[in-house]
Amino acid sequence: MSKTAFIFPGQGSQAVGMGKDLFDNFSISREVFEEADDALGFSLSEMCFSGTAEDLALTSNTQPAILTVSVAAFRAMVSEGFPIPDFVAGHSLGEYSALVAAGAVNFTDAVKTVRKRGTYMQNAVPFGVGAMAAILGLPLETVEITCEEAKQGQVCNAANINSPSQVVIAGNTEAIDRAIEILKERGAKRAIKLNVSAPFHCALMLPAQEKLAADLQEIDFKDLTVPIIENFSAESNVKGERVRTALTEQVSKPVRWAQSVENLIVEEVKTFVEVGAGRVLSGLVKQINRDVRILNVENSTSLKEALNNL
């Protein structure tokens, strides 16, 4: 029996206008946006639907916005009769969306926490001190060896292991610049700096991780209704008590996305449904395995198409 996984996007999938169609077409999605606005004390929905791209790109705004759109899409799917998935997974911030979908944490707690998470991550490193770069066309091993060489006493490591041919690195700006030069010499198809506000998923995020850990202690995590594949371990979990560790560790540790998807395929997942804004994860899953089926749900049209194709 082939299985299904719902996968939830992280930062970088945002776009002005996201979620508006869900808000207009599904009362249950509208309630999610209203709940987010109430929890945060400002109109996140207005920012998503008609704000500026600059405001939406601020990490402290991006994270709750993407979470809200993902949960709005997920709840619309459930209301329209989507079968419960066999697994859930999310990319970085998307892990929170996956946990809401699996019943481990309530949406209000999640949206307040990711708002703080975004603020902590943005403020952990002074602007310009850290950087991230996407490396295309080289194996992980080459990237990791190069990061070690480029460190020279600074931070430089693989941050997002997205697919066999795409690794994002993070660390001090000078170390990232050194790594880019070496990786180009070693045959990278592309090695380009990313337009991000902070160097996520590296040791420079430890101050943010400590602050977030304290907030996570205040949340009551329940056992999951379906297993999640964690970012930091790429392993399956259903225990609420382990969620706190997973969410703490993933702030400064690499996102093992390629391994997560490969492990889902080993578990006989044949259909991946990307839930929320954009199709970033759909593209990555395609790079990892061309034989699986990939659907996405970000508005009423794609929801109907996905339901018909299931």
The overall pTM is greater than 0.95? yes
Catalytic residue among 13, 29, 60, 92: 92
Place of tokens 């996984």: 5
Tell me if residue 43 is catalytic: no
Mind listing the pLDDT tens digit of every residue in the chain (310 residues)?
Answer: 789 999 999 999 999 999 999 999 999 999 999 999 999 999 999 999 999 999 999 999 999 999 999 999 999 999 999 999 999 999 999 999 999 999 999 999 999 999 999 999 999 999 899 999 999 999 999 999 999 999 999 999 999 999 999 999 999 999 999 999 999 999 999 999 998 889 999 999 999 999 999 999 999 999 999 999 999 999 999 999 999 999 999 999 999 999 999 999 999 999 999 999 999 999 999 999 999 999 999 999 999 999 999 8
SS3 188: coil
What does the alpha-carbon distance between residue 251 and residue 257 come to, in Å, rounded to a whole number? 14
What does the alpha-carbon distance between residue 13 and residue 18 come to, in Å, rounded to a whole number? 10
Crossing angle of helices 240-249 and 206-216, rounded to 10°: 160
Catalytic residue among 29, 97, 201, 252: 201
CB 176 within 8 A of CB 198: no
What does the alpha-carbon distance between residue 208 and residue 307 come to, in Å, rounded to a whole number? 39
Same fold, 3-124+204-309 and 130-196: no
| φ/ψ bin of 103: left (φ > 0), alpha (ψ from -120 to 50), beta (otherwise) | left
Tell me if residue 92 is catalytic: yes
Q: Where are the domains of the chain?
A: 3-124+204-309, 130-196
CATH of the domain spanning 130-196: 3.30.70.250
> What is the structure's pLDDT at 101?
98
Looking at domain 3-124+204-309, does it have CATH number 3.40.366.10?
Answer: yes
Q: Where are the beta strands (DSSP E) in the chain?
A: 3-8, 87-90, 130-136, 156-163, 166-172, 190-193, 228-229, 236-237, 269-275, 293-297
> What is the structure's pLDDT at 104?
98
**What is the Cβ-side half-sphere exposure of residue 224, based on CA atoms within 13 angstroms?**
27
